A = this chain, B = another copy of it.
Amino acid sequence: MGLRVDAYPNETVLDAAIRGGVGLRSECGGTQVCGKCRVQVRDQRGLTPATPNERKLLNEKIQAGYRLACATRVLPDADPIMVVVPPEGVIRKRQFVGIGSEQRVGLKPAVSKFRVEVMWPGISDRMSDAERLLTMIRRVRGDAQLELDFNAVARLPEALRRCKAVTVVIWDEKRVISVEAGDTCESLYGLAIDVGTSRITLSLLDLNSGVRLAHESVENPQISYGEDILTRVTYSQAGGDNGKHLQHTIVAGINELTEKVCAEANVSPLSVCEAVIVGNTVMHHLALGLDTKYLARSPFTPVIRESVSVRGAELGLSVNPDAIAHFLPIVDAFVGGDAVGDILSSGLHRRGAPTLLLDIGTNTEVFLRDREGLACCSCASGPAFEGVHIENGIKAVEGALASIKIGVGGFEVEYSVLGGVEPVGLCGSAIIDVVAELFKRGLIDGFGRFSSKAETPRLTKIDGVKRFVLVDAGESGTGRDIMVSERDINEVMLAKAAIYTGCSILMRRRRVARGELSRILIAGGFGKNLNRMNVRLIGLIPDVPSSKISFIGNAAHAGAEAALRSRKVMHLADRVAREAEYIELAACEEFSEEFTAALMLPHRKLELFETVNKLGDMRPKL
């Protein structure tokens, strides 16, 4: 990669690489468990010897000089060491998933500006700057209750004397948060931010027109401390300042994006007076510097659920220091502000007919809207659909297989790749396709086991585990076969069973029959690459006609935008979060029965899946 970095004595190669700006993958947070941070070092003088964990995880690769970057330390006074990072070990550029559908909301943001003329002080007028401003505001608007933030007070002496008019920045019709010299009403901008576990997306909106001027996204820089969220919670607890450090990491990511969008749209960051932030509960807590310890252990209690507003400067955002950063509320430890954003942008709370909404991720949030209101739950679906725990799984980045078809005859594999490059792994949509296609072709049975009767050279057995070769070494970007193993299929079945169980229990509790569902909305990263037939085929969601399934993309971000555009929507978020009934699946007695039934392809009760039933008759009997 051509990068050089000075390592401290006894520093791990992983830490040195991260400092040096190498986006080395690590799912376990450097605890020698996941094996994803492997690197190749031909000349290992200057490094500590391989640990037992490395021997176990790397097997015969040890001979080829492979090491785990998290286990390998640089000896003091070592000569320069050449470390090769294999292609699959690098965090890659991710495909941007468009921001979900824009809901039409009346444009009336929580932050507003207005111009007022303030008299100059005179010797016989004994009013302070603050009193002169408030007197004029009252005269113009009649807001007797408007309070003056201390930070706005501090800006008065200069602002009131530079020109005759000042612009007052008001938050939520309640507080004067800033005062600017002259008439700056025409410059009023806001940020909508979705802090995802793996990705931060940010858009810049002109709050006078409601128009989105620019949007950008970036890998969540915390990813270097563990791809999954629990690893980061563990890290945040491990050392005194780790929590603060993770907070700064998020803020740095947001600031990087802010700089980009502002430059793109030619907007001064100082004109940005509001940021609406959504994120799952852990990201919400980490961003606010709240302790995440009790989110990760039963009974999984968040510190606060209500929306929180803090000053931009307090959070460290590089926007107007008086700006307000407003975090949308969360529903529970596993249903965060991002899920609330899904609801706001999809309009789920307004729908009359029963509707399901799923936001698929490591935890999949499921909402059911019926005539009475909203119920929701969180399914521990695991990160399989994000490519984690899948041997050749990767996120939806450049080089990821996005869709897969397996032919009827010789089981030839057709595929599409994100970014049009040579494939290096499978992302979520392809993982679903593979299982569905293998099942459709009779290559696996209802339990996800490879048929012993199937005869194709693509089926091999390595280390005692059966695998199906999707892409030959020659065609792949890694120089190795891209395969799916029985273990991978098992991961997918666990994931889809968890999600289906969530849907099923919500519908039972609220007495909504499958036939009554008017629509199933699927939010999240897969977006347009998802195959409507295959999601039902593997039994991920209830079997409804394809026409009733909608992919709504990054609906969480769209929800943040809606709350940014409209104060009413922002307040609605609090009501939605407060009123949504959260059902803790772990506390449901029917859970294990439902889950076990859902562990088959597509489900033990085939009568629930007519589509597949019909198809079943066409499956080749191998």
Chain A residues in the interface with B (C-beta under 8 A): 121-131, 148, 150, 153-154, 156-158, 161, 288-291, 293-294, 298-299, 301-306, 308, 310, 332, 582, 584, 586-587
Contacts and interface: CB of A to CB of B under 8 A. Distances in A.
Contacts of A125: 299
9 shortest interchain CB distances as A-B pairs: A157-B291, A121-B301, A123-B299, A130-B304, A128-B305, A128-B302, A129-B303, A121-B299, A153-B304
A587 B123 contact: yes
Contact of A154 (B124, B127, B153, B291): B291
Nearest to A329: B128
Contacts of A332: 126
Contacts of A121: 294, 299, 301
B156 A303 contact: yes
Contact of A126 (B131, B289, B584): B584
A127 B305 CA distance: 8
Contact of A129 (B127, B130, B301): B301
10 contacts: A121-B294, A121-B299, A122-B299, A123-B584, A123-B587, A126-B582, A128-B304, A129-B294, A153-B308, A161-B294
Number of copies of this chain in the oligomer? 2
Given A126-B584, A129-B302, 18 more contacts: A121-B299, A121-B301, A122-B299, A123-B587, A125-B299, A126-B582, A127-B301, A128-B303, A128-B304, A128-B305, A128-B306, A129-B294, A129-B301, A129-B303, A153-B290, A153-B304, A154-B288, A154-B290
A129 to B, nearest CB: 5
A278 to B, nearest CB: 17
A135 to B, nearest CB: 13
Q: Which of A127, A158, A294 has the most CB of B within 10 A?
A: A294
A582 B127 CA distance: 11
A308 B301 CA distance: 36
A124 B581 CA distance: 12
Given A121-B299, A130-B305, A305-B128, A289 B154 contact: yes
B308 A150 contact: yes
A305 B332 CA distance: 44
Nearest to A157: B291
Contacts of A131: 305
A303 B123 contact: no
B153 A303 contact: yes
A301 B128 contact: yes
Contacts of A306: 128, 130
A304 B149 CA distance: 12
A157 B299 contact: no
A512 B294 CA distance: 69
A615 to B, nearest CB: 40
A620 to B, nearest CB: 47
A130 B303 contact: yes
A194 to B, nearest CB: 22
A123 B157 CA distance: 54
A563 B129 CA distance: 25
Contacts of A153: 290, 303-304, 308
Nearest to A309: B150
Q: Which of A127, A129, A586 has the most CB of B within 10 A?
A: A129
A283 B584 CA distance: 57
Contacts of A130: 303-306
A310 B150 contact: yes
A465 to B, nearest CB: 37
Nearest to A304: B130
B124 A584 contact: yes
Contacts of A289: 154
A124 to B, nearest CB: 6
Contacts of A305: 128, 130-131
A150 B303 CA distance: 11
A18 to B, nearest CB: 28
B157 A290 contact: yes
B308 A123 contact: no
A582 B289 CA distance: 47
Contact of A304 (B126, B129, B299, B586): B129
A587 B597 CA distance: 90
Nearest to A158: B291
A290 B125 CA distance: 21
A310 B150 CA distance: 8
A582 B126 CA distance: 8
Contacts of A156: 303-304
Contacts of A293: 157
Nearest to A122: B299
Contacts of A122: 299
